[in-house]
Amino acid sequence: MQTKLQFPDVQAYKGLRGPSRVISYIFHPVFMPTIMAILVSYLNRSAFAALDTPHRLQLLGNIALNTIFFPIISTLLLKALGFIESIQMHNSRDRIIPLIATMIFYFWAYLIMKNVQAPLSLRVLMLGAFWGIIAVFIINIFIKISMHTAAAGGVLGIVLVVMMISHINLFLPLLGALLIGGIIGTARMVLHAHKPSEVWLGYLVGVVVQLAAYWYLK
């Protein structure tokens, strides 16, 4: 006899669905690279010490432009032109074109970080984010994967990278990354957006691509 995976009754999570939607919007994947870049600039202060404030803001602005503004605009245009059914991208087919566009924007952001000799942690972050989008795109062809938890895994991964680069005690940020990642994954399951396997696969991809980017660039 086969056992079919079923989500708990909707009523069981009724009181959590509102907060889960808020969490899903706040920690939407489109915002996470910029959030991670700000986190990196704070945690890895020694690497950013040589940069004045305008230069630092310019780096963060370039990341925000290529990972928030351009992906959102392209997704809205795709919806307006009828190429995708919903900007929420609930099904795998809706994700294909937006992910390809996002790959281009992420790659461009990485090239900027590389060409201006940004701190290693920022270069790792953007290369890892670019590889993460590629991994999500390929996996999405076969099975659905949580992009929210892939981004959350990326936060954990980049904190681990900063720990290896700076050799400072980042236990509390690491604990915070684990806690936030758990909250994001729980929110996605409360909303029935993903199965547990899709959530865990996202975490795995997010961590692996950041560590792989570090080993490639170090």
Structure tokens at 86: 């919903």
- Is residue 4 domain-resident? no
Quick check: 29 and 150 in contact, CB under 8 A? Answer: yes
Q: What single letter denotes the amino acid at residue 68?
A: I
User: Phi and psi for 39 in degrees, rounded to 5?
Assistant: -60, -45
The pLDDT, as a whole number, for residue 17 is 86
What are the pLDDT digits (tens) for 73-95? 999 999 999 889 888 777 778 88
The pLDDT, as a whole number, for residue 3 is 45
The pLDDT, as a whole number, for residue 13 is 62
- Is residue 17 domain-resident? no
Quick check: 106 and 126 in contact, CB under 8 A? Answer: yes
Quick check: 211 and 156 in contact, CB under 8 A? Answer: no
- Is residue 10 domain-resident? no
Q: How many domains does the chain have?
A: 1
- Is residue 165 domain-resident? yes
- Is residue 9 domain-resident? no
Structure tokens at 64: 């925000």
- Is residue 182 domain-resident? yes
What are the pLDDT digits (tens) for 34-52? 999 999 999 999 899 889 9
The mean pLDDT value of the chain amounts to 91
State the average pLDDT over residues 113-134.
97
- Is residue 62 domain-resident? yes
What are the pLDDT digits (tens) for 147-169? 999 999 999 999 999 999 988 88
Name the residue range of residue 154's domain.
25-217
- Is residue 77 domain-resident? yes
